Amino acid sequence: MDASATSHQNVYMSERASDDPAQNLAPAYFIDSDAPEILALVARHCAGSDSPAAKARVLFRAVRDGWRYDPYSVVTDREQYRASAIAEKDRGFCVPKAILLTAVARAAGIPARVGFADVKNHLASPKLRELMQTDLFVFHGYTEMFLDGRWLKATPAFNAALCERFGVAPLEFDGSSDALLHAFNGRGQQYMEYVHDRGTFADFPFEDMLAAFREHYPFWRNVEKVRDDAFHSE
């Protein structure tokens, strides 16, 4: 483990985040916003953005489309949930993408925290339903950013190409209102339903997520055997 990881180890707690914006700016173990990989992303995407809202908009889109959504990419290695490690990949499910957006927001000077909710995906593919044996997705990740005096929710999970495949417009975050998952798709079918909000955290509650997955998903004991490209071969 590197020196940065050690210095942030004590920041990781499963306690709810403070509403104080100043308490949601510092680097943490998983949200290692001071890592070179994160700073490079911010420098690349925020050049020319002159306000926090403008930076939030471009960073949201960069994470939404720069990392392909893949629900089969769940791993149990805690190091893979650090934002700096996620930045080196090309895909991820909702939780890593929310961690990454939180980290780049903090690196850009925007107070940010990671949040989680249980949602029902009414349009989950048959293969994914069979694996999960439920349409309830526990610990869906999203990011909250403090902009213009308000905490705003944004979920960068589904990239534009995937949204087109399922007949929904990609979510856009304008920096002035929430950007949450669609309730209906383009054909009027029920799509995503928020069931329970688990709250927001200053750093990613890794053990809490694992406990929730063990409780709700029978496949969890064999999760490492699930091929990470299965979703895109359906």
Angle at 173 between CA 14 and CA 147, to 5 degrees: 65
| Residue spans of beta strands (DSSP E) within 61-191 | 68-69, 91-92, 112-121, 136-147, 150-154
Query: Tell me: the pLDDT tens digits for 151-179?
Result: 999 999 989 998 888 777 888 999 999 99
For 94-148, the pLDDT digits (tens) are 999 999 999 999 999 999 999 999 988 745 566 766 667 677 889 999 999 999 9
* Mean of the per-residue pLDDT values of the chain: 84
Contact between 33 and 4 under an 8 Å Cβ cutoff? The reply is: no
Q: How many angstroms separate the Cα of 43 from the Cα of each of 59, 108, 142, 221?
A: 11, 9, 23, 40
